[in-house]
Amino acid sequence: MDTQTDTQKDFGPADDHGDDFIRLDGVEKVFDVRKKTGFMRSERRQVRAVDSISFAVARGEMVGYIGPNGAGKSTTIKMLTGILTPSGGRLRVAGIDPSRERTRLAHRIGVVFGQRTTLWWDLPLIDSYRLMHRMYRIPDARYAENLDRCVELLELAELLDVPVRQLSLGQRMRGDIAAALLHDPEVLYLDEPTIGLDVISKAKVREFLRHLNAEQGTTVLLTTHDLTDIEQLCRRVMVIDHGRLMYDGPLTGLHEIGESERTLVVDLERELPPIEVESARVVKVEGPRQWLAFPAAQSAAPLVARIAAAYPLVDLSVREPDIEAVISRMYAEKATS
Amino acid sequence: MADLQAQERHDAHRGFPPTGRSRVVDGLRAYRLIAWMWIRSTMAYRASFAMTVFGNFAGTALDFVAILLMFSRVDELGGYSLGEVAFLYGLSSAAFGLTDLALGSVDRLGQRVRDGTLDTLLVRPAPVLAQVAADRFALRRLGRITQGLLVLGYALVVVDISWTPLKVLMMPVMVVSGAAIFASVFVAGAAFQFVAQDASQVQNSFTYGGTTLLQYPPTVFAKDLVRGVTFVVPLAFVNWVPALYVLDLPYPLDLPEWVAFLPPLVAVVCCALSGVAWRAGLRSYRSTGS
């Protein structure tokens, strides 16, 4: 095979045409699941983990990829990174077929698996970065520049000489994100980057991702269970369930389709009968605390103003709907319409 | 501004990664980098390292003590003197020790498939086999090689071998080919674990079991077992077949003399076959993700 011409073809200007950095056309992934039905006997069953998914992501986009457990999110990410070979359809990342040219693609993508660290447990954090430097053959100046930037923005300066086993979960996640970015990937995949993190760590990770996307122009694709991640980061969200793409568009649209509701929790001065207010209904009362449901697409501010005008308000908080609730409402909507 | 930077970085990738570099060179480089990280990791616990080196040495030495105990009761084992058995033992241990040092942790592949950490290796720009082979690289395994070489040295002193230049040349060739044959068994075993993730014990019976078998003369085993080890899983070419030529002893099976010089060829064929098996295993993993 003539690799030279191949390289020129894929890296040439033609591959930027149309600006679709990631492109999937009818991508499928079918697993053969073998189930034991007796001694030495088994039954074969086919499971469609990803069922004919098509979408495109432009360079510099930040996209949330959500869905319940087992929906096919991880399978999609694994196909995009070249870990798994699709059973059907066409898939391109930066003009490269991931499953065929896994190692070549590796230089251009960064991957963070939320629950599996790639850092060296017994060694100081900086040693893991030095390994990346050499394994990815990152030019020295570029490595120094990228490391400095990550250290500053992810607040890693004091952690560099600490063995990874002594880092907290939040610190380790920040460390993992830096490790995935030292080789200047054009796209960063994050699988549940905020899972298990405390509020402050979550905020730091989100702030960094926002900066990365805005300043560096890095394309970001993240899966999450936390709708707040999506709300604060992604203008575009894709919902996948049972291997099918259920929704692709802005988050606000998702709320409209799903008729999802947010919850306003108010603490009143004293126990009162359920609040009566326009466009919200009380779903629960517990002493002076009341829970009101209101459409997620609607702003909470006028609602709060109306309640504050009529009731002795002490404190309040707004709760976002969780993804499972949004998706189950989407189904209910589809069934009735 | 952001677009410009992105474009700049994209440009930087144009000559990247260097094409035309052979996968073997890439693999060896990745192996060296990862092995060095593991050495440094073990050095985080120096005292523990010192103890495990000694433990590894002592543990493997017990194998030879068992043979010594046998010879305190009898003068011959299957027609072999203590020195001749030590010769077989030393060759087998040295060859196996080299393999165990170089890729002793590939049998953890099933574990990596189960817990999903294999995926983290698949997103790196290096051959997966090199990364898996370097996993948990442990210098404590030098203990087994040292022990094997000491026993081999003892055998060379006590056994009266009629040396020819050819026999001298065969000594290092035997150890290296033997290590390569064991390596192919390790890799084939790991490839099998892509399909059956709990098969590491099956693999151990061929690797650790194999080396123990080869430490004894072929004459003490049933003919069928010797045939299996000669023609099916060709472990006999690690030491039995070539070593008996060096010792001027007859092989229990009726084989022509030139068979004694086959170990390098057997090693190459075995490595090629296990390479094919590995690729098939990896392909199956990437299509099933099991």
Chain A residues with CB inside 8 Å of B20's CB? 3-4
User: Hey, what amino acid is at B136?
Assistant: R
Cβ–Cβ gap A137/B126 under 8 Å: no
Task: Give the three-state DSSP class for A294.
Answer: strand
Model ipTM value: 0.84
Cβ–Cβ gap A136/B41 under 8 Å: no
What are the CA-CA distances from residue B243 to residues A77, B149, B215 (Å)? 53, 15, 12
Letter string b/e over residues A113-152, b meaning 16 or more CB atoms within 10 A of that residue's CB: bbeebbbbebbbbbbbbbbbbebbebeeeebeebbebbbe
Tell me the mean pLDDT in the region B77-101: 95
pLDDT of residue A4: 42
Tell me the mean pLDDT in the region B96-101: 95
Contact call for residues A238 and A327 (beta carbons, < 8 A): no
Round the average pLDDT of chain B to a whole number and report it: 89
Contact call for residues B238 and B180 (beta carbons, < 8 A): no
Cβ–Cβ gap B286/A122 under 8 Å: no
Q: pLDDT tens digits, residue range A150-207?
A: 999 999 999 999 999 999 999 999 999 999 999 999 999 999 899 888 889 999 999 9
Cβ–Cβ gap A4/B44 under 8 Å: no
Residue B22 has pLDDT above 50, yes or no: yes
Between CA B139 and CA B131 the distance in angstroms is 17
Residue A11 has pLDDT above 80, yes or no: no
Residue B241 has pLDDT above 60, yes or no: yes
Confidence at A28, pLDDT banded by 50, 70, 90: very high
Q: pLDDT tens digits, residue range A201-249?
A: 999 999 999 999 999 999 999 998 787 888 889 989 999 888 999 889 9
Q: Which of A59, A235, A220 is nearest to B2 (CA)?
A: A59
Residue A9 has pLDDT above 60, yes or no: no
Residue of B nearest to A81 (CA): B123
Residue of A nearest to B45 (CA): A122
Residue of B nearest to A215 (CA): B2
User: Of A174-188, A195-209, A252-266, B246-260, which range is least confident?
Assistant: A252-266
User: Of A290-299, B156-165, B185-194, B218-227, which range is least confident?
Assistant: A290-299
Q: Which of B156, B196, B217 is nearest to B281 (CA)?
A: B196
Residue A263 has pLDDT above 90, yes or no: no
Confidence at A18, pLDDT banded by 50, 70, 90: low
Cβ–Cβ gap B9/A87 under 8 Å: no
Q: Mark out chain B residues that contact chain A at CB-CB < 8 A.
A: 1-3, 5-6, 9-10, 12-14, 16-20, 26, 30, 33-34, 37, 40-41, 44-45, 116-117, 119-120, 122-127, 283, 286-290
